[in-house]
Amino acid sequence: MTATHSLAAEELTLGYGERTVVEGLDLAVPPGRITAIVGANACGKSTLLRSMTRLLAPRAGRVLLDGKAVHRMPAKELARTLGLLPQSPIAPEGITAADLIGRGRNPHQGVFSRWKPEDDAAVAAALEATQTTELADRAVDELSGGQRQRVWIAMALAQQTDLLLLDEPTTFLDVSHQIEVLDLLTDLNRARGTTVVMVLHDLNLAARYADHLVAMAGGRVHASGTPAQVLTEECVRAVFGLDSRVIEDPTSGKPLMLPLGRHHTDAAGQRADAAAG
């Protein structure tokens, strides 16, 4: 198991230019668990993740790692503990998958240190875990969207941090690879105790894989807790403006959200109304 680290946001306010995106947000990440952040587009999910890895300075408030403000920590010190897979990362032109994954080892390199056997082992393990070994010698810009995403995830794994933040890690992946990536993150959490925080759009996958669920709306935390506490019909309506039915997932036992709409309504409810009439 890895060491336990605390990560929290206190009265955090974030924005771009004159636009405020997150305001007065408080959040404590449960150490050693998997946290999924969900919410409608432009609610501040990705902005929050960027600030938690000091890519975006707060207008007010602070992000604390083990009680220290991350924006005052040396970059390499932070990168040895906390890793980030951002949304839509850009690779240097012509770089191979293996070289990109190897850059995940940079925080562990000193100014004059050489590449070590443990660096090779970390890269090899990341390639194998993400099923990208056969892509190692190929240029990243020649890969498909799904292949590139798996290579970026491999780079984050090679960094071997105790906390791993991922912004929509299943983007560009088909259903089978989405499950593989989420299973991989679960394995990492269970085997090493890695704290995982990820932004996901799929509410049902978030509920299935997360120990802790955070629902954001309007730049604030609307609800947080276990998936059963957060993924409710009332919360889905408040956060997404969507009517739904939430039932128990027969596979995982977690809540399963069934969206309603103008063409796919609550048939069971209609039958009950008809019977009552």
* CATH ID of 7-274, from 3.40.50.2300, 3.40.50.300, 3.40.50.1450, 3.40.50.10380: 3.40.50.300
Query: What pLDDT is stored for residue 269 in this prediction?
Result: 53
**Residue 131 backbone zone (phi > 0: left; psi -120 to 50: alpha; other: beta):** left
Which is nearest to 153 in space by CA: 141, 143, 142, 168? 168
Q: Which residue's structure tokens are 């669920």?
A: 213
- Dump strand ranges (E) for the chain: 7-16, 19-29, 34-39, 60-65, 68-69, 82-85, 163-167, 195-199, 212-217, 220-225, 244-248, 255-259
Residue boundaries of the structural domains of the chain: 7-274
Report how far residue 105's alpha carbon sits from residue 115's, in angstroms, rounded to the nearest whole number.
9
Residue 180 sits at φ, ψ, to 5 deg, of -60, -45
Query: What pLDDT is stored for residue 240 in this prediction?
Result: 96
Query: What pLDDT is stored for residue 177 in this prediction?
Result: 87
Find the largest Cα–Cα distance for the chain. Answer: 81
Give the dihedral sign, CA 146/125/204/40.
negative
Report how far residue 208's alpha carbon sits from residue 200's, in angstroms, rounded to the nearest whole number.
12
Between vectors from CA 43 to CA 162 and to CA 90, what angle results, nearest 5°? Answer: 55
Along the chain (277 residues), what's the average pLDDT of each consecutive run of 10 residues? 81 95 96 97 94 94 95 89 88 93 85 80 91 94 89 91 93 87 91 94 96 96 97 97 95 95 69 50
Contact by Cβ (8 Å): 60, 69: no
- Amino acid of residue 46: S
- Per DSSP, 210 falls in state -
Say how many C-beta atoms besides its own lie within 10 A of residue 144's C-beta. Answer: 10
pTM above 0.85, yes or no: yes
List CB contacts of 52: < 8 A, sequence separation 6 or more: 7, 9, 63, 70, 82, 165, 197
